[in-house]
Amino acid sequence: MLLYTLHNLISAGVAFPVGHLGDRSSKLRILLWGYGLGVGTNLLLALLGGSIVWLVAIVILSGAYIVVEETLEKAVAAELLPQELRSLGFGLLACANAAGDMVSSLYVGYLLEAHQPGRAFGIAASVGMLGVLWLVLTLRRMRTDAFARA
């Protein structure tokens, strides 16, 4: 219960600064860093999640990266999508998040039941890293397209 309380306390404390920073700089870049922090958090869970000291650090990192995602995903989608497609884009984002949550809950739950937490969170870190790499490539492509139009 104390770890969950700590997680929520961190999320509450980080939400406003992340939103403020997102309004002052690149939301996509901050989101990318948040996703990277999520990858690191899952990697730590895979490798060091059995230690209570590391678990406290992981809960703090988790509270931070989740609030970056929750604060900026829709804002980034709003910036990237034309106005006439925003509702559809938000719906697709929600659908992808829900499907991803369902799949990850099933496989992580299965692997935790099988006493394989390293594998469970290692897979999460790997899939997250693929997403981060995809976003990096997307950012580069957007930069290249903007340069070509100028």
Range of the domain at 26: 2-149
- Residue 150 clears pLDDT 70, i.e. is over it: no
Residue 144 burial (CB count, 10 A): 10
The radius of gyration computed from the CA coordinates of the chain, to the nearest angstrom, equals: 17
Q: Per residue in 12-71, pLDDT tens?
A: 999 999 999 999 998 998 999 999 999 999 999 999 878 889 999 999 999 999 999 999
Q: How many helices (H) and strands (E) does the chain have?
A: 5, 0
What percentage of the chain exceeds 90 in pLDDT? 77
- What pLDDT, on a 0 to 100 scale, did the predictor assign at position 61? 95
- What pLDDT, on a 0 to 100 scale, did the predictor assign at position 49? 78
- What pLDDT, on a 0 to 100 scale, did the predictor assign at position 5? 93
Q: Could you give the number of structural domains in the chain?
A: 1
